[in-house]
């Protein structure tokens, strides 16, 4: 027994929690088969950049084999920053090569428990990163759910949910995300929507939306048919009774029943009938013959009190200078109604990028705004939070995107909206 105890204590395995970055070259065998010397020269240049950026982000390369590189980081944030920096730097180098001679890394990142064996790391934590790398596009990055949980509120990135993927020799499905954009580095290659990256949850959501649309259409149809089949009660409610009035009632001064039914219905039309609402929504002045109605009541939605700030505001939306981007300004517009502000505008029409804005307006004039830019396919590219004030028909707000780039709004209230 004593001997067995000594033997077991000498075989204790050391473990630790680490973020693993796994990378290899997409199509490496083809590239080597076509031109070994040029491929090897390009790969060595890429590898030097890879190694220098890993060191810069406080990581360590612990294993290499052929075209594969494994690195460890104590921080998931630094690991992802390093990976996006590497892909951006290698993209610049690849742009100088012919498309069929470009050496592109696919990268997978996982946060998990690993085994320490000398200078090497082993175990599921490493294996999952290697499998995630196979799901990435050439030049792209896939991360596990454990990494996503650590970085989603710390880095200005956009993600595509690929679902819970089952990988070879990995017992449990892995929550998988693809990084679609890194602020300052632009878009990264990602699986096409509807292909590998479309999850069963997205498909199910689409089915639910379709069923709701069908049900809503059927409900509207039945209501319309019912209204056609039952016009009599409405007419009876407007028309006076056909029985002759008593003799005592004929000399009465108040005889509105003598008013023709059509005239009576016109006189009883409420000020907020659909016709009047349509006129107000189109921006035209309401007819003077209509019932009196305050401008503030017309501007506010049902059940929400209007305020002096309600109206449409427009002007410049500007984003500050960064090491890779100049100052950029666009014409933005937002509408304040019932204590809420909403708006959207295009940022580079040729790029198909739209900025969406929403927020709250306090009675004091203080404003809190959240902005979110989206690609044409709905992918979120960047997010910013701003605070500001309303004074003298002017909206001024400032804040920052998640990676520090400044954002400002300087808008003036549209005179037409104040009528």
Count up the domains in the chain and report the number: 2
Bin 170: left if φ > 0, else alpha if -120 < ψ < 50, else beta. beta
Distance CA 327, CA 320 (A): 5
pTM equals: 0.49
Print pLDDT tens along the chain (419 aa): 445 444 444 567 899 999 999 999 999 999 999 999 999 999 999 999 999 999 999 999 999 999 999 999 999 999 999 999 999 999 999 999 999 999 999 999 999 999 999 999 999 999 999 999 999 999 999 999 999 999 988 998 999 999 999 999 899 999 999 999 998 888 999 987 554 434 444 555 555 555 665 655 555 565 556 555 554 444 434 444 444 444 444 444 444 444 444 333 333 334 333 333 333 333 333 334 333 343 333 344 444 456 789 999 998 889 888 877 788 888 889 999 888 999 988 876 556 788 889 999 999 999 999 998 877 666 777 888 999 999 888 999 999 987 788 999 999 998 864 44
- Phi, psi at residue 227, to the nearest 5°? -65, -35
Task: Choose one of 185, 201, 217: the last residue of a domain.
Answer: 201
Boundaries of domain holding 132? 13-201
Task: Choose one of 150, 169, 201: the last residue of a domain.
Answer: 201
The full DSSP string for 138-180 is TT-EEEEHHHHHHHTTTS-EEEEEEEEE--TT-SS-EEEEEEE
Residues 36 and 168 in one domain: yes
Report pLDDT for 403: 75
Look at residue 139 and tell me if it is in a domain.
yes
* Nearest Cα to Cα of residue 39 among 91, 89, 100, 92: 100
Distance CA 42, CA 93 (A): 9
Distance CA 227, CA 219 (A): 12
Contact 178, 196 (CB under 8 A): no
Residues 44 and 192 in one domain: yes
Check which CATH number belongs to the domain holding 345 and give it.
Answer: 2.40.128
Distance CA 355, CA 344 (A): 5
Residues 70 and 194 in one domain: yes
Report pLDDT for 152: 86
For strands 120-122 and 186-187, give the pairing: unpaired
Look at residue 272 and tell me if it is in a domain.
no
At 18 the three-state DSSP class reads: strand
Distance CA 196, CA 210 (A): 23
Lookup: tokens for 219: 């409900």
Look at residue 269 and tell me if it is in a domain.
no
* Nearest Cα to Cα of residue 20 among 164, 205, 144: 144
Look at residue 268 and tell me if it is in a domain.
no
Q: How many residues does the chain have?
A: 419
Check which CATH number belongs to the domain holding 81 and give it.
Answer: 3.30.70.1230
CB 133: neighbour CB atoms within 10 A? 24
Task: Choose one of 142, 168, 201: the last residue of a domain.
Answer: 201
């Amino acid at each position: 027994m004593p001997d067995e105890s000594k033997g077991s204590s000498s075989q204790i395995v050391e473990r630790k929690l680490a973020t693993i970055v796994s990378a290899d070259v997409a199509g490496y065998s083809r590239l080597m088969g076509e031109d070994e010397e040029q491929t090897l020269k390009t790969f060595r240049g890429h590898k030097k950049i890879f190694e220098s950026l890993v060191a810069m982000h406080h990581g360590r390369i612990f294993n290499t084999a052929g075209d594969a590189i494994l690195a460890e980081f104590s921080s998931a944030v630094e690991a992802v920053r390093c990976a996006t920096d590497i892909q951006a730097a290698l993209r610049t180098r690849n742009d100088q090569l012919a498309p069929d001679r470009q050496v592109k890394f696919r990268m997978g990142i996982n946060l998990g428990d690993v085994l320490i064996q000398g200078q090497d790391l082993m175990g599921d934590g490493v294996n999952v990163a290697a499998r995630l790398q196979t799901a990435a596009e050439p030049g792209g990055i896939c991360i596990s759910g454990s990494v996503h949980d650590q970085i989603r509120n710390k880095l200005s990135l956009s993600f595509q949910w690929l679902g819970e993927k089952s990988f070879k020799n990995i017992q449990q499905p892995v929550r998988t995300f693809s990084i679609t954009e890194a602020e300052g580095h632009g878009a990264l290659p990602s699986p096409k929507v509807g292909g590998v990256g479309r999850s069963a949850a997205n498909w199910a959501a689409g089915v639910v939306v379709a069923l709701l649309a069908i049900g809503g259409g059927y409900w509207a149809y039945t209501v319309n048919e019912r209204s056609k089949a039952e016009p009599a009660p409405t007419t009876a409610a407007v028309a006076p009774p056909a029985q002759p009035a008593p003799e005592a009632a004929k000399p009465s001064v108040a005889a509105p029943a003598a008013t023709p039914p059509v005239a009576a219905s016109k006189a009883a039309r409420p000020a907020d009938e659909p016709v009047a609402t349509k006129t107000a929504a189109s921006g035209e002045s309401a007819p003077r013959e209509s019932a009196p109605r305050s401008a503030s009541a017309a501007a506010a939605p049902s059940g929400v009190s209007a305020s002096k700030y309600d109206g449409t505001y427009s002007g410049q939306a500007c984003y500050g200078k960064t090491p890779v981007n100049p100052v950029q300004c666009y014409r933005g517009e937002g509408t304040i109604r019932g204590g809420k502000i909403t708006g959207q505008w295009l940022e580079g029409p040729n790029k198909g990028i739209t900025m969406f804005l929403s927020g709250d307006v306090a009675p004091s004039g203080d404003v809190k705004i959240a902005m979110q830019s989206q690609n044409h396919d709905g992918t979120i590219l960047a997010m910013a939070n701003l605070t500001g004030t309303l004074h003298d028909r002017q909206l001024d707000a400032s804040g920052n995107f998640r990676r520090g780039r400044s954002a400002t709004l300087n808008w003036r209230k549209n005179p037409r909206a104040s009528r």
